[in-house]
Amino acid sequence: EIVLTQSPGTLSLSPGQRATLSCRVSQSVASSNIAWYQQNPGQAPRLLIYGASTRATDIPDRFSGGGSGTHFTLTISRLEPEDSAVYFCQQYASSPLFGPGTKVEIK
Protein backbone atom coordinates (compact mmCIF):
# COMPACT_ATOMS: atom_id res chain seq x y z
CA GLU A 1 0.00 0.00 0.00
CA ILE A 2 1.36 3.37 -1.04
CA VAL A 3 1.69 6.02 1.68
CA LEU A 4 2.29 9.75 1.09
CA THR A 5 4.14 11.79 3.69
CA GLN A 6 4.36 15.57 3.57
CA SER A 7 6.81 17.81 5.39
CA PRO A 8 6.98 20.09 7.15
CA GLY A 9 3.59 19.98 8.81
CA THR A 10 3.56 23.76 9.08
CA LEU A 11 5.73 26.34 7.37
CA SER A 12 5.80 29.92 8.64
CA LEU A 13 7.53 32.40 6.34
CA SER A 14 7.47 36.08 5.43
CA PRO A 15 6.18 37.58 2.19
CA GLY A 16 8.78 37.39 -0.55
CA GLN A 17 10.48 34.33 0.90
CA ARG A 18 10.79 30.99 -0.84
CA ALA A 19 8.77 27.99 0.37
CA THR A 20 9.73 24.41 -0.41
CA LEU A 21 7.19 21.71 0.41
CA SER A 22 8.11 18.04 0.33
CA CYS A 23 6.05 15.00 -0.59
CA ARG A 24 7.53 11.56 -0.12
CA VAL A 25 5.96 8.43 -1.54
CA SER A 26 6.54 5.02 0.07
CA GLN A 27 7.34 3.45 -3.30
CA SER A 28 8.52 4.81 -6.61
CA VAL A 29 5.77 6.28 -8.76
CA ALA A 30 5.66 7.77 -12.21
CA SER A 31 6.03 11.55 -12.16
CA SER A 32 2.99 11.81 -14.38
CA ASN A 33 0.87 10.60 -11.47
CA ILE A 34 1.76 13.41 -9.03
CA ALA A 35 -0.36 16.54 -8.49
CA TRP A 36 -0.43 19.39 -5.98
CA TYR A 37 -3.44 21.30 -4.64
CA GLN A 38 -3.98 24.43 -2.60
CA GLN A 39 -6.89 24.60 -0.19
CA ASN A 40 -8.11 27.68 1.63
CA PRO A 41 -10.41 27.39 4.65
CA GLY A 42 -13.99 26.63 3.68
CA GLN A 43 -13.10 26.12 0.02
CA ALA A 44 -12.59 23.18 -2.28
CA PRO A 45 -9.05 22.25 -3.29
CA ARG A 46 -7.57 24.06 -6.29
CA LEU A 47 -5.29 22.23 -8.72
CA LEU A 48 -1.85 23.85 -8.91
CA ILE A 49 0.43 21.29 -10.55
CA TYR A 50 -0.13 18.05 -12.44
CA GLY A 51 2.32 15.60 -13.93
CA ALA A 52 4.68 16.65 -11.11
CA SER A 53 5.78 19.84 -12.87
CA THR A 54 3.09 21.25 -15.18
CA ARG A 55 1.21 24.28 -13.90
CA ALA A 56 -2.55 24.12 -14.21
CA THR A 57 -4.51 26.84 -15.99
CA ASP A 58 -4.10 30.36 -14.53
CA ILE A 59 -1.60 29.28 -11.87
CA PRO A 60 1.09 31.95 -11.35
CA ASP A 61 4.62 31.04 -12.36
CA ARG A 62 5.89 31.51 -8.80
CA PHE A 63 4.50 27.98 -8.23
CA SER A 64 6.68 25.17 -9.56
CA GLY A 65 6.81 21.44 -9.06
CA GLY A 66 9.63 18.95 -9.36
CA GLY A 67 11.02 15.64 -8.28
CA SER A 68 10.90 12.04 -9.32
CA GLY A 69 10.67 8.52 -7.98
CA THR A 70 9.77 8.81 -4.31
CA HIS A 71 10.43 12.49 -3.62
CA PHE A 72 8.50 15.42 -5.05
CA THR A 73 8.54 19.10 -4.21
CA LEU A 74 6.32 22.13 -4.58
CA THR A 75 8.17 25.44 -4.54
CA ILE A 76 6.61 28.86 -4.12
CA SER A 77 9.37 31.19 -5.22
CA ARG A 78 8.15 34.49 -3.72
CA LEU A 79 5.44 34.12 -1.13
CA GLU A 80 2.48 36.44 -1.23
CA PRO A 81 -0.11 36.86 1.54
CA GLU A 82 -2.75 35.00 -0.49
CA ASP A 83 -0.52 31.88 -0.55
CA SER A 84 -1.47 31.19 3.06
CA ALA A 85 -3.26 27.83 2.74
CA VAL A 86 -2.92 24.07 3.13
CA TYR A 87 -1.16 22.26 0.30
CA PHE A 88 -1.78 18.61 -0.55
CA CYS A 89 0.14 16.30 -2.82
CA GLN A 90 -1.73 13.53 -4.60
CA GLN A 91 -0.65 10.44 -6.45
CA TYR A 92 -2.86 8.38 -8.75
CA ALA A 93 -1.90 4.81 -9.45
CA SER A 94 -4.99 2.57 -9.42
CA SER A 95 -6.84 5.13 -7.28
CA PRO A 96 -6.07 8.61 -5.97
CA LEU A 97 -4.33 9.06 -2.64
CA PHE A 98 -3.59 12.34 -0.89
CA GLY A 99 -0.89 13.34 1.54
CA PRO A 100 -1.74 14.79 4.97
CA GLY A 101 -0.97 18.34 3.87
CA THR A 102 1.41 21.18 4.71
CA LYS A 103 0.03 24.37 6.18
CA VAL A 104 1.78 27.50 4.93
CA GLU A 105 1.47 30.55 7.15
CA ILE A 106 2.53 34.01 6.05
CA LYS A 107 3.95 36.08 8.90
Partner 1 sequence: QVLLVQSGAEARKPGASVKVSCKASGYTFSTYSMHWLRQAPGQSLEWVGWINPGNGDTKYSQKFQGRVAFTIDTSASTAYMDLNSLRTEDTAIYYCARLWLGPSFDLWGQGTLVTVSS
Contact between 32 and partner 1 by CB under 8 A: the answer reads yes
- The string of DSSP codes covering the chain is ---EEEE-SEEEE-TT--EEEEEEEEEEE-GGGEEEEEE-TTS--EEEEETTTEEPTT--TTEEEEEEEEEEEEEESS--GGG-EEEEEEEESSSEEE---EEEEE-
Contact between 46 and partner 1 by CB under 8 A: the answer reads yes
Contact between 98 and partner 1 by CB under 8 A: the answer reads yes
Contact between 67 and partner 1 by CB under 8 A: the answer reads no
| Residue span binding partner 1 (CB under 8 A) among the ranges 12-20, 63-71, 75-83, 95-103 | 95-103
Size, binding site for partner 1 by CB under 8 A: 25
